[in-house]
């Protein structure tokens, strides 16, 4: 792992921690769930899995 990779990994970890602490991660996850449900994504995935 290069120094740049290590730096990027640390920055990502800090960003994730900040999102968890602020509650923003939960808000984004809920928004994602809502949007996926609205567009029928889950139903499409279930149908695709049945075809396999």
Q: Does position 33 have pLDDT exceeding 80, yes or no? A: yes
**Rounded distance between C-alpha atoms, residue 22 and residue 9, angstroms:** 20
**Rounded distance between C-alpha atoms, residue 7 and residue 4, angstroms:** 5
Q: How confident is the model at residue 32 (pLDDT cuts 50, 70, 90)?
A: very high
What is the pTM assigned to this prediction?
0.68
| Mean pLDDT of all residues belonging to the chain | 95
Q: What CA–CA distances, in Å, run from 21 to 3, 8, 30, 33?
A: 27, 20, 16, 20
Hey, where are the domains in the chain? 3-51
């Amino acid at each position: 792992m290069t120094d740049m990779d290590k730096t990027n990994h640390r920055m990502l970890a800090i960003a994730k921690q900040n999102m968890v602490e602020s509650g923003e991660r939960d808000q984004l996850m809920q928004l994602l769930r809502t949007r996926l449900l609205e567009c029928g994504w889950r139903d499409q995935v279930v149908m695709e899995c049945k075809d396999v």
